[in-house]
Amino acid sequence: MASLVRLLEACLLALAGAFMLVLATSPMYWHFFNPKYSWLTFTAGAIVALLSLAGLLHRTRTPKASEIASLAVFLVLAGLAVTLPNPLFDVPPSGITSSDSFEPFSQPPGDAQAMADAENPPDTFGLDGAFPADPGAGIPAPTFDVTEEENGSRFTMDGVEYIKTNIAELILAEQENRLEPGGAYSVQGLVARTPELDEAGYIAVTRLFIVCCFADATGVAYLVDVDDPQSYTQGQWVHAAGTLAPAKTLPKTLPIAIPGAFTAIHGDKFAISAARVEPGPVPGMPFLFELRGKEPYIY
């Protein structure tokens, strides 16, 4: 009995360590944790796998009744986990990484193609499938040259040089009083709208900022002054370029909904006076994991 328990313990430890090693080296890692912690997960997985050998070779140890009970509970939980959706193969949860959270880029609910895609998930473990291959499908193609934003930390449009940054960096710079009226910036993200924003002539461009994992994810939003907020769709991915102007007076609490976030913060001193706000390609990694505080920023 004791040898069987030791064998089961060793196998479970080895499997847990192997899973951690595979996850740490998988392109899917960022779906669960901040990529900067992959080395820590890899190291911990290697240690856990080695501990399985130690437990197997420690033949003089007699398992206690509490250890056997714990092992039984763990096996039951592991069996239940097998029945859950497999995050490496199945369709990701809506509102976090699935393309169906980006409404204008996905098939309508109930669409035959969408159902087929759900039943036949992608074969790769990377970013394929997290977002549609053609983010412009179903919406007008961008009229701007996307390549102008691909290289360098800045680009020029109509004689104005725009700094490529992200919403979290803008909010941080605003809080540290590093922003000035007239500063030219370009950001990208999901459109969010509320009745209060519509009335003020704003849309909110939003991103998800992750410190460790989705459990601590925070939504960040920056207001963009546009001619007609109603021409933009909730959940639409846009590239917004413009200059900073003092923000209009709005309610302190705005019900801005950001997929995957329980809370959201937004800049309230400035808003971007739009020179261009158009649908554009979704970046390979749509979430924000770090703040740099200086150029080149994560765009």
Q: Is the pTM of this model over 0.95?
A: no
Give the E-state strand segments of the chain in sequence order.
154-157, 160-164, 184-192, 202-209, 218-225, 237-246, 264-266, 270-279
The answer to whether 223 and 265 are in contact (CB under 8 A) is: no
Residues in the chain: 299
Q: What backbone phi and psi angles, to 5 degrees, belong to 162? A: -105, 135
Note the pLDDT tens digit of each residue in 132-148.
Answer: 334 344 445 555 666 66
Q: What is the pLDDT, as a whole number, of residue 85?
A: 67
Q: What is the CATH number of domain 146-279?
A: 2.40.50.140
Q: What mean pLDDT is predicted for residues 199-208?
A: 93
Q: What is the pLDDT, as a whole number, of residue 47?
A: 93
Q: What mean pLDDT is predicted for residues 49-64?
A: 76
Note the pLDDT tens digit of each residue in 67-116.
Answer: 778 777 877 887 787 777 655 444 443 343 333 333 333 333 333 333 33
Note the pLDDT tens digit of each residue in 244-263.
Answer: 999 988 877 788 888 777 77
The answer to whether 258 and 206 are in contact (CB under 8 A) is: yes
Q: Can you give the residue ranges of every domain in the chain?
A: 2-82, 92-138, 146-279
- 210 CB burial (10 A radius; 0-12, 13-18, 19+): buried
pLDDT bracket for residue 188 (50, 70, 90): very high
What gap in Å lies between CA 292 and CA 295, rounded to an integer?
7
pLDDT of 124 over the 70 cut: no
